[in-house]
Structure 1
Amino acid sequence: MLVALAACGNKPAPLTQQEKQTVNELTANLKTRCVGRYLVDMPEGMYVSGYAKIQGVDIETKAMSGDAYQREIEKREAELKATRSALGYQFLYQDGEAWGKGTRYFVHLGNPADPSDAARVIEAYKWDHNYQIRLTIEASDYTHSVFKDEPSIKQMTVKNNVPEKTRLVFGLLEKVRGRADDEIPTEPGLCFYGGFLPAKAGSEEEMSEQYVLKGHDDINFAFETTPDLRENTTLLQRTDSLEVREQLRAADGVLIRKGSVDLSGLRAEEWLIEGRRPGDGRGNSFSLVVNEITSSPSSPFLSMDLTTGGQVQIQGQYVKLDKASLTTGEAVALWDAVSRTLRPRPNGY
């Protein structure tokens, strides 16, 4: 998680006039975003990506028109109907409409090379608010499998969980809706890239989201949140370990700041580093965590990271940067402007 490591504290010098102007331009029009069940204010002009996983169901979204959605579904149907199992098993088992007009679902073998005829993948689609929403989960059906008489299969309590998991997917598909990045829901539920699932706070949910600053491809904010993670040690305890201190020295890193942070109704810890990044270019790696050892549905764990410099991926190729697009002073000022706005979303739980 923390690639750029540090050996000692090194408070950045006061910002120059040029650095102040850069930070002012980046933070002049912060917009509130919903991440999981939290809110944070981010600069305008961000590329956003991410996913969610609810009760074992993966949720992915893609911005597209209604016509494009129809073409995508037709293409996917053709692909699945044309796929053949390498071992001669049936590949596509079910397809049709889920619980709603315009929805579609498929139950298939998954991997054409799978050695078992009992494996299943359930995938379902809908289009809402200019987003295609795709739900997937793995399942199994041994009721008619060539392996159904194996002793281990006979001992299974549930030999076919496809109906149960299909109902789960259909239920989530019915509730989930598309969501623009700057839309802030007012009801309980989980925000993720391109979507929102209205639901009271519970377990078995996770969300990951990334924001990349347009024009500064190496400036990357990353968020992860889940109520199901509970660490035994805190961020500050781990970064004070002998192992990390040795890594700090070896990586030629500089500790900018570390400590506890009081946010709006939240107690957080942060660790800010300048040093070598992947690709050997120098840059920054800042981390902040909340509810790390006390995570629960009503107060889920959340991590926020900012990385700069190192290398960026352009058209599938990694390009090493001679320097980060922000100085360390600018990065710290941007971090402070954004991270201090983190707060629970009202009525989010």
Structure 2
Amino acid sequence: MRKTRATLAVACLILTVAACDHKPAPLSQQEKQIVTELTANLKTRCVGRYLIDMPGEAVESGYAKIQGVSIETKAMTEDAWRQEVAQREAALKATKSRDAYPFLYEAGKARGENTYYFIHRGTIYNDPSRRYIEGYKWDRGYRFLLKIEAYDYLHPDQTDEPIVQKMTVKNGAPGKSAVVFSLLEKLRGRSQDDIPTEAGVCFTGGFLPAPAGNDEEVNAGFFNPTHMRDVIWSVFTSPDLLEDTTVSRHADSAEARAALKAMNGKDVRKGAVELSGLKATEWLYESLKPGDGRGDTFSIAANETTSRPATPYFSMELSTGGQYKVQGQFEKFDPPSLTTSEAVALWDAVSRTLRLRPGAL
């Protein structure tokens, strides 16, 4: 299972659920106040082809992979982008191969305004057939960095090798370069509050106009940089992931039961959830966390066994407590920033807003 699913632990046997569930206590007045403050300013965020309302102060990070090309963004000025590209070009040109073949094969403007690209060998230790294609673009205050690997067995000529002779395509660099160029031409910068109305894929700092299709995935995370830094949301969506089970059924598996027992964990809630036009399942549990503290792990997924371009898979996880690296130093959150009752209330306020973005397909 995908990473977000693999981190889930386990529920009790169906026949004994009532005996082992860890039902959160009713909210105290102080807890109600905390939840009210957290949910008073929910903001709509676009992830993939979905919308979900997150606490307004939560900062988004993440990346996308579309048509095999990884896409990262960073907020910066146009001047900073030009300086970054110039420094990258200088570094690549200064790198000398350990053999007779070039290290940097191509560099120059790609397709569209404010674009640039490089094709190089990655490291001096790589075979001369290896190619790394990097694409850069600046748009609306964001720098895009696109990367994909390819091979070229024609430059230098290695077609006398038996394994190369069996290959239908002996130079994959032109085809993959064309994909990168096409993406660079279409990508546009996007702030967190910018919700597109046309068909396409949202990811952190960017948007790709495109009809519903395959070979796309988006990973996003949301966290508060100033307080409650252990309250972390992780989101993943892709039309290409098709599970053979659901979150709630996985929670009842022998593997999950053993994992939850090892973490001294308890169920909070699990089962089917009806959202806005979506069928989903969820599993909420409390357990030991890294660093020997305790915390909550809540997960939900939609279109688990029916994922396709028109109904892409979506999963989200909320984690509290544990130990995290903050500004280069490990910080332990014990107790977690939210009680289980507060976490459940926040989870319900956010997770129930999941819906397909109008016009996204």
**What is the aligned-residue identity percentage?**
56
Give the direction of change, closer, same or farther, for the CA distance of 1:323–1:331 in structure 2 (3 Å limit).
same
**Correspondence for 1:175:** 186
RMSD: 1.3
Question: Secondary structure of the equivalent of 2:180?
Answer: helix
The partner residue of 1:119 within 118, 130, 133 is 130
Alpha-carbon shift at residue 38 of structure 1 (Å): 0.4
List aligned pairs for 1:63-78, cutoff 5 A.
63-78=75-90
Cα deviation for residue 321 of structure 1 reads: 2.1
Structure 1 equivalent of residue 310 of structure 2: 298
CA contact (8 A) 2:9 2:251 kept: no
**1:10-45, Cα deviation, whole Å (9 max, x unpaired):** 211110010000000000010100010000001011
Per-residue Cα deviation, 1:86-133 (whole angstroms, up to 9, x for no partner): 34531000000011232111000112211x101001111110010001
Q: 1:243 to 1:100 in 2, by over 3 A?
A: closer
**What SS does structure 2 have at the residue aligned with 1:216?**
coil
Alignment partner of 1:317 out of 321, 329, 348:
329
For the Cα contact (< 8 Å) 2:9–2:256, is it kept in 1? no
- Look up the match of 1:236: 248
Choose from 239, 256, 260 the match for 1:227: 239
Q: State the partner residue of 2:204.
A: 193
Q: Is the 8 A contact 1:4 1:277 kept in 2?
A: no
List runs of 5+ in structure 1 lacking aligned partners. Answer: none
Match of 1:165 in 2: 176
Q: Structure 1 residue 320: deviation in Å? A: 2.2
Q: Extract unaligned runs of 5+ from structure 2.
A: 1-5, 13-19
Partner of 1:2: 7
Which residue identity is paired with 2:119? Answer: V
**Distance between the aligned counterparts of 1:305 and 1:83, measured in 2?**
42
Q: Which residue of 2 aligns with 1:342?
A: 354
Match of 2:16?
none
| Worse-matched range after superposition: 202-211 or 156-165 | 156-165
1:136 aligns with 2:147: yes
User: Which residue number corresponds to residue 97 of structure 1?
Assistant: 109
Contact 2:110 2:181 in 1 (8 A): yes
Q: TM-score, normalised by structure 2?
A: 0.94
Asked if structure 2 preserves the Cα contact closer than 8 Å seen for 1:187 and 1:347, the reply is yes
Q: What secondary structure is seen at the aligned counterpart in 2 of 1:286?
A: strand
Judge which range, 118-127 or 231-240, deviates more: 231-240
User: Could you tell me the TM-score, scaled by structure 1's length?
Assistant: 0.97
Partner AA of 1:331 in structure 2: A
Q: Distance in 1 between matches of 2:319 and 2:312?
A: 23
Which runs of structure 2 are paired with 1:247-266 in the superposition (5 Å)? 247-266=259-278
